[in-house]
Amino acid sequence: SQTIHQWPATLVQPVGSPLSLECTVEGTSNPNLYWYRQAAGRGLQLLFYSVGIGQISSEVPQNLSASRPQDRQFILSSKKLLLSDSGFYLCAWSARAPGRQETQYFGPGTRLLVL
């Protein structure tokens, strides 16, 4: 069965510090991968998605970047965090196979607090 991991679970960082959040998927190959952010009391906002190694699409201009160095690894980064980067970050995956790619499955998330 497929599982998705995210770490760290919680992170407190000062303004201006760098960020690296990691997401890995097990039990599947060649997945589509997604990064979402959820601000307090709000819905989910898609930040990035990737259909393959090195292929990243950005949905909104922001202080963040994403990379996919390996097939099942997706990393969210920032060089200098802003207060507005605080939130709950969720990684998700979907299968690439026809007829199965429409459903996204989410990881446990990372709580980021920028002070």
CB of 93 to other proteins, least distance (A): 12
CB of 94 to other proteins, least distance (A): 8
Binding site for other proteins (CB under 8 A): 32, 34, 38, 42-44, 46, 49, 51, 57, 59, 88, 90, 92, 101-109, 111
- Residues with Cβ within 8 Å of residue 33, at least 6 apart in sequence: 23, 25, 49, 50, 68, 74, 91, 92, 93
Residue number with CB closer to other proteins (3 or 17) = 3
3-class secondary structure for the chain?
A: CCEEEEECCEEEECCCCCEEEEEEEECCCCCEEEEEEECCCCCEEEEEEEEECCEEEECCCCCCEEEEEECCEEEEEECCCCHHHCEEEEEEEECCCCCCCCCCEECCCEEEEEC
Residue number with CB closer to other proteins (7 or 80) = 7
Residue number with CB closer to other proteins (14 or 41) = 41
CB of 79 to other proteins, least distance (A): 26
CB of 35 to other proteins, least distance (A): 11
